[in-house]
Each structure stands twice: as C-alpha cells, then as structure tokens.
Amino acid sequence: MSSTRTIRSVHTVADLRAQVGRWRAAGESVALVPTMGALHAGHVALMEAARGEADHVVVSIFVNPTQFAPTEDLSRYPRTLEADLDKADAAGTELAFVPDAGEMYGEGFCTTISLAGPALGLETDFRPTHFAGVATVVAKLLIQTLPDVALFGQKDYQQLQVVTRLARDLDLPVRIVGVPTVREADGLALSSRNVYLGREERAAAPTLHRALSEAAAAIAAGEPIADTVDAARHEVIAAGFALDYLEARHAATLAPIASPAEGPVRLLVAARIGTTRLIDNLAVPG
C-alpha cells in the first residue's frame, strides 16, 4: 500500500451514501466510474475524463459474479486491489467503493433486469446471461451512488448501448458518457484480459483492430458492407482466431445494417485466441 495514498475506500452502501451525501449537501456533483478492477490505462482515462465532468469522482471495484457464465473466467479474473487503488489515487479519484459479493447480493437476492433492444444478439448469442448480470449490477451501482454522470469505455460498445438504454428506460437521473477506447501502439485495445495472452497470441492480437480499420475504410469508400465484413472475418480467422462474430450494426440501436444510408455504422468483433477472448469495435467514418 502506498503511504502517500489519499483515496478513501468504503465497503458498504451505507458508507458510500454517507460520503456522497456530504458532497451533495455542499452542492457538489459526482461522477461514477464502474470497474471490475485490474485497472489499466483505459480505466485511468475514464477516471481522468470523470474529473472533467464533476466535482468528485467515485470508482467502484467489484468483480461481478452474475455477469460470468459457469464456464467463464471468474475464478482467475485478475484481482489487484492495492495496485488499483494506487492508480485511482494517481488519477485524482477521491473515493473507491469496494464491496464484496455479500454486500452487493444479500441473502435471498432474486431480482434481475429483463433486456431487449441493444442487448439482443452479438454478445448474447455467445454469453446469454451476460448482460442481465451487467444491467443488474450497473443499476445497483447507479442507485447506490446516484451520480450526476457515469462513464463507460467504448471498447465494450454493446455494454455502453445497453447501459445507456437502461438509464433512459428506467428514468435514472444520470448522464451516461462513453469514453474512447485506449489502445496499445499496435492498435490492440487495452483490456484486463490481455495479461492472459502468450507471446505469439499477443503478436497476433492486433489483427482485430487492423481488420476493423481496413473494413471501416472500405465501407466508407463505398464498398458493400456484406462483402467487406466477410473479408474481415477471413482475415481474423487466418490470424489464428476462433471467431465468435464480426458484424456491422447500426451504431445507436445495434440492429443489423446493410448500407451506410440506413444510419451510422459500427463494426464489432469478438474472437478467441488461445484461452483468451478479445472484443473490439470501430466506427465507420461518415
């Protein structure tokens, strides 16, 4: 633990609300950055952006079990709390909410949120319970904190659209802000799961961003979406990935889209290399 760390950690909803309440009583605004920990430069960018949105910044650090399927990596998901607190502190975050599963999901917990719209397809074709878990924990965090604004990374683009729709549909008094993806120099989107990549897998990983970039440029230049997306799929598979999906979707609704004339286009990909599943996305210019 850093001896100069000034960030305060709280572990209960009561303590979280007490601190936020003091800020509210002083007429000050609050931003929330929800995370599952294992913080990296992408999370730091979220916290730094949050400082420009509100007087005070809260980061939540909670590995949410309800968004993992039984076959997924909950038990080995990286947990680096002390390093996370150091990063959050250095980014100017004042409060860390670090609950355990018992605090978030008390005895007899049985409530979930039913989703449609942008939650249908893509990730849910492969992880059918994922967004129900995400939506439930995010709704709880927003209700627990009652921030003026909450910030999410655009790397998890479908999640961002699901959360935006959630806040709108449930009349939650919070503004949802998407922050651009932070990348390595070779284009790989930063992710806590990148630590799982072996040397050869890491060398192949930037193929996802390269294939999306080439496809986005081709579509913007007038090439047919279907043919361009098919070529990108073949490029990703040839690099050694097992492809879950690579799709062109309407950027706002995530409905299938056949032409840029139908609205803004977003390209989204999820693929596995070795034991690691990576996701990425990119806007088509225009």
Catalytic residues: 43
Q: Give the chain as a DSSP string.
A: --TT---EEE-SHHHHHHHHHHHHHTT--EEEEEE-S---HHHHHHHHHHHTT-SEEEEEE---GGGS-TTSSTTTS---HHHHHHHHHHTT--EEE---HHHHS-TT--------GGGSSTHHHH-TTHHHHHHHHHHHHHHHH--SEEEEETTSHHHHHHHHHHHHHTT-S-EEEEEPPPB-TTSPBP-GGGGG--HHHHHHTTHHHHHHHHHHHHHHTT--HHHHHHHHHHHHHHTT-EEEEEEEEETTT--B-S-GGGS-EEEEEEEEETTEEEEEEEEPP-
Sequence-ordered list of residues with C-beta below 8 angstroms from that of 252, at least 6 positions apart, any chain: 161, 263, 264
Is residue 41 a known part of a binding site? yes
Is residue 39 a known part of a binding site? yes
Is residue 246 a known part of a binding site? no
Is residue 52 a known part of a binding site? no
Is residue 182 a known part of a binding site? yes
In single-letter form, the type of residue at position 281 comes to N
Is residue 37 a known part of a binding site? yes
Which tokens go with 158?
């479908």
Is residue 42 a known part of a binding site? yes
Is residue 159 a known part of a binding site? yes
Is residue 155 a known part of a binding site? yes
Is residue 153 a known part of a binding site? yes
**Residue 179: beta bridge partners?**
153
Which tokens go with 59?
């980061």
Is residue 218 a known part of a binding site? no
Is residue 154 a known part of a binding site? yes
Is residue 43 a known part of a binding site? yes
Is residue 40 a known part of a binding site? yes
Q: Do 142 and 172 touch, CB atoms closer than 8 A?
A: yes
Is residue 32 a known part of a binding site? no
Is residue 198 a known part of a binding site? no
Q: Which residue has the tokens 């949802």?
A: 176
Q: Residue positions in the annotated binding site?
A: 36-43, 67, 153-156, 159, 182, 190-193
Q: Residue positions in the annotated binding site for (R)-pantoate?
A: 67, 159
Q: Residue positions in the annotated binding site for beta-alanine?
A: 67
Q: Residue positions in the annotated binding site for ATP?
A: 36-43, 153-156, 182, 190-193
